[in-house]
Structure 1
Amino acid sequence: MAVTQQEIENRLWDAADELRVAMPEAQYASVIFPLMFWKYLSDTWDYHHQEFLAENEGLESLTDDEAHEIEYRDYQSFDIPFVSSGAGHYSRASWSAVLGTVTQPRLGQRVRTSLQAIETANPDKFSRLFGSMTWTSEEVLSNEVLAAVMRAMNRTPKMHEGNMSFDVLGGAYEYLLKRFSDGSGTRAGQFFTPREVVELIVEVLEPKAFESVYDPTCGSGGMLIASANLLKAHGGRGYSLRLFGQEAVPDTAGVARMNLFMHNLTDFHIEVGDTLKDPRHKKPDGSIAQFDVIMANPPYSLKWKPWSKDPRAIGGVAPQALADWAFVQHMMASMTPTKGRAGVVLPHGVLFRGGTEAAIRQRVLDDDLLEAVIGLPPNLFYSTTIPTAILVFRAPGCKAPERQGGVLFIDASMRFIKSKKRNMLTKEDIADVVAVYHSKFNYDDVISSGGGGLAARLVPTAEIVANDYDLKIGRYIKQTAATQEDLGALIEAYRLARAERRKAEQVMLSVLADAGIEGFDE
């Protein structure tokens, strides 16, 4: 019987709810995600082990080493090793083995030993995956509470591909992320960007099959996963993307790695460290690695130690109290020269603040690197109520010809619905903004929705220069601007053109497939 999304989500939340007597909801993620991933690994290993036994008769004629070689060559993609259980006895570092000992003292110590053993046995896949594991201490989480959490989680259906799809498993992980964020208040902003904002950025940048995607402040990995999901939704192969990220907080980096695995995305590289101080993705010559698509929601107005000498400092160095433009500079330096594009969410201050930030802005505009500024509604995020904007950049010379020498401004600040704790973008809001972004513009166009809520204009750089490189959205478009072109008609024309293109592609692929030519859908 197929496992429903609702069933697994309810069971997992029941397990998380056992923590209410021991810690605030803001700390649930540090316990639940390692336990959930451990159970997933154990269930998956057991499932493939049973396959191995069922499909290989005569194992008694093989040595232990020979049987091990066959199993790990043909069935297993990771190892769950044996650990000492005392008095010369050994047991596998699996969920089921430790679950059978929950009534015994020092449960947390056994959990920690098992998780560390899995990390050590799989250094290429799971190094530092489970984070600091401070919750395994009896002082943090009592034996009784940890046992209750594990028993409740054990009522979750088996987490392996024979029992549930990765869509269900990944969806459950996303459900917990959002639920923990809803209950964590501003702390959630450290690792979770609202999914509708992520979807908007990904739709704007449009990752393609076999491209590299990079998030320099990756949090829980949501933007990387959304990139693969979008490609899959458009008929491509999400797993063909090469995913890269860096995260300053080790426990959060572990959450991201587990999140990617839960979504069956294994071609990824998540590094731990301060991206501005110590970028970990490098070329062999030591320079910054470059990627096709870069997206981020970095911490806003972060205090940092400014660079004294760094090739990323195009146009100057961001002030010590405001690292916003430093993150942008890092992202621009990370764009591949032939097709690199980047999207970043930042507070409106980056659009108009003076000093060295103004100098950086001037250089970016003079080099024609900024493609678009998309103004978002206030109170979209868990960590702040201020309005923000998405800035979209293209590598030198990579803008569409009609957009060279200008910046597209889109004001979507009035497009939202109110929810209990924050504002939200609807699917229609996202689709309309994306349609406007991908539409063709002339410099004379000022478009606006008749009922208000969305307006856009392609502004020549010369006009921005005349305004001392000020990028405040209100300088260039007004929500009350006269409609020179109907926005609804523009969006509809874009959607029809996109549908026709996809239809033509399907016909082409069908003809090629009939001729025995495959692989073009990648």
Structure 2
Amino acid sequence: MAKKKNDKSIEEKLWDTAIGLRGKVEPSEYKHVVLALLFLKFASDKFEERREELIEEGKEDYLEMKEFYNMKNVFFLPEESRWSYILDNAKQDDIAVKIDTALNTVEKNNPALKDALPDNYFSRLNLDTKKLGTLLDTINNIDTLQDEEQDLIGRVYEYFLKNFAIKEGKGKGEFYTPKTIVNLIAEMIEPYSGVIYDPCCGSGGMFVQSVKFIESHNGNKKKVSIYGQEQISTTYKLAKMNLAIRGISANFGEEPADTFAKDQHPDLKADYIMANPPFNLRNWRGKNELKNDPRWKGYAVPPKSNANYAWILNMVSKLSHNGVAGFILANGALSGGGVEHSIRKKLIKNRLVEAIVIIPRDTFYTTDISVTLWILNKNKRARDIEINGEVKNYRNREDEVLFMDLRTWGEEYEKKYIRLTDEERDRVTENYHNWQQENYKETYKDIPEFCYSAHVDEIAKNDFSLVPSRYIEFTDKDAEIDFDKEMQTIKSNIETILSEEKKSQDQLKNAFKELGYSLDV
């Protein structure tokens, strides 16, 4: 039966109810409340399902033994942590304390959840008891075990993360990477087996989509090992919870920590890296300056004013001899001088840069700027991947870089955001893999306003700029943008504005001075 236009999905209904109950609590705080309750309901449903299995098997004596749950990848829940207990006490004045106790008890009884669940959120936020009870009733209506293949609880979790990211707006909360971009990265670098790493993993979205990529190609998720790092404590917990919901094991380090100041995986060599680092991060070196950090070996020390190239070199240092990295950066990293130019030049000369893809504007919820997808390949000459029993032999042109420009692509959704369609994503991925083939002359060709394969010598003549419009042919000259020129224009405009503002301040000071007063500005 077709869904009526006014019929809302379970995600939408839960979102509407949750937001209506939020009150004065900030979204950045409130999402941990909602997602923790979703996790508790999910864990309880799985626990009760396993409990029934044990009863049917005549193993009543083992109902309170955690080993009989863990062996089936089910979290053991003591009585005070079970959803039924929470519901029975939903109208009590101390329900917030009981929920905090439940989450704490679940964590203590399941080592895999160490530091994964919110700590005393419910008590601290002083939520209205009636509203909290209503939220519990709403979540109780979700059957987390139905339609397992469609990953219902995972869908709800992702929907909430996305909507909280939209609601928090620019510069607030954790950086959420839209699903369309994560899928594009996964489909391009094909993280089918081996070690996967994300140095700034946020809520773990890159890992979730990597595993979904594996499953969609009939692969085995047990063939991948996942490593990540996240600095923000609450986001670190979200990532652990996000993967636990889906039964995905991961190593996020012993604690939330700054990737630069306290690398949790110093000796890691990853086959695949997927990342969306914070854009243009300032003062990232901290007090110790990190000038002699081994991650910069062979390159210059990245500038303190911007961490873009620090992220790049961190990832380069983590790649295995055949490793591939796909990550998002602000467009400013494509060009420019100084230390960044020196590092970029060496990356290109070392044949590490494989592809540069300009992503449409308004793709991200937390910024409206256009961004770039970089693909780095530690071994561009040869890479074999087995998928569905078929071995793909990638014999790439190590002396060339593939440029793609998607600025005019995508469809509008959520009224003001852009996302690549499945067909567009397939076209980009197919084009990239065709370009990688040994017989590329038969499978790939340069296409105006879309793609161009540039030789390293040509890039050198352009002063090692990686701006795609320097290489891709544009038949519509109005569509061509010289980013270097545009940035110089913007810089000049800002300098003019600041100069005029200073003149105005001086004039105002003089006016007050003539009246016998002074302005302390």
Q: Which TM bucket (shorter chain)?
A: 0.7 to 0.9
The match for 2:418 is: 423
The match for 1:127 is: 114
- The verdict on how the C-alpha distance between 1:171 and 1:6 changes in structure 2, with shifts beyond 3 A counting, is farther
Q: Which of 317, 324, 332 matches 1:349?
A: 332
Partner of 1:186, secondary structure, is coil
Q: Is this contact kept in 2: 1:455–1:477, CA < 8 A?
A: yes
Matched, 1:115 2:103: yes
The match for 1:29 is: 31
The match for 1:270 is: 252
Structure 1: gaps of 5 or more residues: 82-90, 283-287, 483-522
Q: Distance in 2 between matches of 1:102 and 1:13?
A: 20
The match for 1:160 is: 145
The match for 1:300 is: 279
Cα RMSD for the two superposed structures:
2.7
Q: Is this contact kept in 2: 1:214–1:291, CA < 8 A?
A: yes
Bigger mean CA deviation after superposition, 400-409 or 380-389: 400-409
Q: Is this contact kept in 2: 1:190–1:299, CA < 8 A?
A: no
Aligned residues: 447
User: Which letter maps to 2:135?
Assistant: V
Query: 1:128: how far off?
Result: 1.0
After the TM superposition, which residues 240-389 of structure 1 pair with which residues of structure 2 at under 5 Å, given as runs? 240-265=223-248, 267-271=249-253, 272-282=256-266, 288-303=267-282, 304-305=284-285, 306-313=289-296, 314-337=298-321, 339-389=322-372
Partner of 1:230, secondary structure, is helix
Q: Distance in 2 between matches of 1:291 and 1:205?
A: 13
**TM-score (ref. length: structure 1):** 0.79
Query: 1:331: how far off?
Result: 0.7
Query: 1:10: how far off?
Result: 4.6
Q: Distance in 1 between matches of 2:40 and 2:12?
A: 19
Query: 1:36: how far off?
Result: 0.5
Bigger mean CA deviation after superposition, 218-227 or 292-301: 218-227
Partner of 1:247, secondary structure, is coil
Q: Show CA shifts across 1:398-436 (max 9, x none).
A: 565542122111112221223312222111221111111
Q: Distance in 1 between matches of 2:218 and 2:169?
A: 36
Partner of 2:170, secondary structure, is helix
Bigger mean CA deviation after superposition, 142-151 or 348-357: 142-151
Q: Distance in 2 between matches of 1:183 and 1:34?
A: 19
The match for 1:54 is: 56
Partner of 1:346, secondary structure, is strand
Query: 1:332: how far off?
Result: 0.8
The match for 1:146 is: 132
Query: 1:262: how far off?
Result: 2.4
**TM-score (ref. length: structure 2):** 0.79
Q: Is this contact kept in 1: 2:200–2:228, CA < 8 A?
A: yes
The match for 1:95 is: 83
Query: 1:189: how far off?
Result: 7.0
Partner of 2:142, secondary structure, is coil
The match for 1:42 is: 44
User: Which letter maps to 1:77?
Assistant: V
Report sequence identity in percent.
Answer: 30
Matched, 1:413 2:418: no
Q: Which of 184, 195, 200 matches 1:217?
A: 200
Q: Distance in 2 between matches of 1:48 and 1:196?
A: 35
Matched, 1:200 2:184: yes
- The verdict on how the C-alpha distance between 1:7 and 1:373 changes in structure 2, with shifts beyond 3 A counting, is closer
Q: Is this contact kept in 2: 1:370–1:394, CA < 8 A?
A: yes
Partner of 1:373, secondary structure, is strand
Matched, 1:79 2:76: yes
Q: Is this contact kept in 2: 1:368–1:405, CA < 8 A?
A: yes
Query: 1:180: how far off?
Result: 2.5
- The verdict on how the C-alpha distance between 1:133 and 1:438 changes in structure 2, with shifts beyond 3 A counting, is farther
Query: 1:185: how far off?
Result: 2.1
Q: Distance in 1 between matches of 2:307 and 2:352?
A: 19
Q: Distance in 1 between matches of 2:136 and 2:431?
A: 49
Q: Distance in 1 between matches of 2:67 and 2:239?
A: 31
Q: Distance in 2 between matches of 1:53 and 1:446?
A: 63
Query: 1:341: how far off?
Result: 0.3
Partner of 1:459, secondary structure, is strand
Q: Distance in 2 between matches of 1:28 and 1:223?
A: 23
After the TM superposition, which residues 15-26 of structure 1 pair with which residues of structure 2 at under 5 Å, given as runs? 15-26=17-28
Q: Is this contact kept in 2: 1:405–1:460, CA < 8 A?
A: yes
Query: 1:55: how far off?
Result: 1.4
